[in-house]
Chain A
Amino acid sequence: MNIRKQFLSASAAAGALTMLLLASPAGAQTRRVEKNFKVDGKPVVILHNPSGRIHVKAWDRNEVVIVGQYTGSRLLVETEQADNRVEVVTRVAGPPSPSSPADLRADFEITVPTEAELQVRTDSGSVTVESVHGDMSFDTVAADLALQDVEGYLVIKSVGGSLVCTRCAGRLDATSISGSFQLLQPLLHHVRLQTSSGNILFDGSFLSRGIYVMRNYSGTIEVRFSNQDSFDVRATSLYGLVINQAPLVPDAHGTPAPPPGMARSLVGSVNQGLARVELSSFNGTIKISKRE
């Protein structure tokens, strides 16, 4: 029995080694590119990278540092600086041809001044941005976004990628088809989220004068409030449910009641109703929950 086990282990090890060798052809060495750009004030950093992991972080220096790693022999990383504009573009050389995902993938570590503006376009992989306080836009197909401690006007267009925004401040406009949105401890005064089949979670305070519009077709929209929050709310689900834990009083600001129809609707105010919250879904569930 032991001999058989040893044989099986040896076979497995040999198989794994073979797979490893097959998966690492001689030409698939990792290439590395590093570029430094001196900038002044608030630069704009533009990155087009079809696939891979992108990590952007901030520092106090007036310098943009781009570090890229990739294995595809046909990948080209092109950079350009024009005054305060820094562009990084990943391209595939030659005509399109069947490629493995690894051939198209480039990973980037980017360090930018805190006030830098970002424009990122990617298709798959992931994007993480930390502590950048400039406006930023993201255009993705399937890449997931994680934004942390960022501040500015944030614009996100995604097809299937999701967003997790932790302690984001400023203004956020995000649209997706199947991606989900999670806003954790937000400090956003203007939020507009739309997804078709994704879920939306807003777990944080509604700032006074803030406007929060969240909309989906299916899935769940959940907003969590505290007793100190002050907002007007209008929640409508055409075919789904509206579940409310908020101590609503009739809206004192003259917001008209929804017209009679088939939708489940709820209109009212919490405290003075300083912020405005609009939640709508086609057949999803809307939850207005009290934060634990």
Chain B
Amino acid sequence: MHCQHFEEMLAQQPDGPLPLAAADHLDTCLRCRLLREDLQAIGIAAREWGREEPTPPPRVWAAIQIQLQAEGLIAEPSPHGRGLYLQPAANRGWFAGWLTAAPRLELAGAYLLLLLIAAGLAGYRTSLPANPLDRPSAAISAPALDGLGPALDGNMQRVVASFSEYDGSVARSLRRNLGIVDNLIAVCEKSVREHPGDPLAREYLYGAYQQKADLLAVAMDRSTLEIK
């Protein structure tokens, strides 16, 4: 099975069990494996997030839309409301339409996932009651967000690892900067925990997540997957 067939199959049944041929393909194709994992993570995040935070702030949707438009994955806002309109997906669900946007789907998935995380943080905070002491700092590690960070880190590590075969200096730079961004996120999270009412602290945390999304996008863009 080729990648294109796999993507078409995934478009037809994104959540269904994989046929044997597709499973075999996954064993040998890192790109499709990452694609499927990203989609699963997005699905999980969307469901969990939906339970925790039904309405993300409008600016998050705007940011996602701008980013996807910049990536050339979508054209105009949907005439049907808030949903994202994807160029090639006129008669499919938006989720399925994503699949035709490969090969940069992983990239967009990473963006979306991280923006979801950031949205979770920002939105959660936005909806806090007036007295922040009423909601403990556990908001940062709300159940919806649990596990997403490590999943992303896992993907990031695998992508970066693929560089070592190709160009060590790029891999070193990416690892070093990933460390910087992760440290930044940790510091900003601490700041938000300590000062939950400070919009500036939250803004910096949001920015730090965006930087991680950008870094992940760069890493995926440069990975050997594309070189192949």
Contacts and interface: CB of A to CB of B under 8 A. Distances in A.
A282 B188 CA distance: 9
Given A177-B180, A196-B181, A238-B191, A261 B167 contact: no
A96 B228 contact: yes
A282 B204 contact: yes
A225 interface: no
Given A141-B218, A159-B173, A238-B204, A196 B184 contact: yes
B177 interface: yes
Contact of A142 (B173, B187, B227): B173
A178 B181 CA distance: 9
Contacts of B191: 238-239, 282
B53 interface: no
Interface stretch (A78-86, A98-106, A128-136): A98-106
B215 A159 contact: yes
Contact of B176 (A92, A160, A263): A160
Given A141-B218, A261-B198, A99 B167 contact: yes
A124 interface: yes
A124 B173 contact: yes
Given A92-B227, A160-B177, A217-B208, A142 B184 contact: no
A159 B222 CA distance: 12
Q: How large is the interface on A (under 10, 10 to 19, 20 to 34, 35 or more residues)?
A: 20 to 34
A262 B191 CA distance: 11
Contact of A96 (B165, B173, B176, B188): B165
Contacts of B62: none
Interface in A160-211: 160, 175, 177-178, 196-197
B200 interface: yes
B176 A98 contact: no
Given A95-B228, A141-B218, A282-B188, A124 B167 contact: yes
A96 B198 contact: no
A115 to B, nearest CB: 25
Interface in B147-178: 162, 165-170, 173-174, 176-177
A236 B204 CA distance: 12
Nearest to B227: A96
A123 B222 contact: yes
B195 interface: yes
Contacts of A263: 200
Interface of A: 50-51, 92, 95-99, 101, 104, 123-124, 141-142, 157, 159-160, 175, 177-178, 196-197, 217, 236, 238-239, 259, 261-263, 282-283
25 contacts: A50-B170, A51-B167, A92-B227, A96-B165, A96-B227, A97-B165, A98-B165, A99-B166, A101-B169, A104-B167, A123-B167, A123-B222, A124-B169, A142-B173, A159-B215, A175-B214, A177-B211, A178-B180, A196-B180, A196-B211, A238-B201, A238-B204, A239-B191, A282-B184, A282-B204
Interface of B: 162, 165-170, 173-174, 176-177, 180-181, 184, 187-188, 191, 195, 198-201, 204, 208, 211, 214-215, 218, 222, 224, 227-228
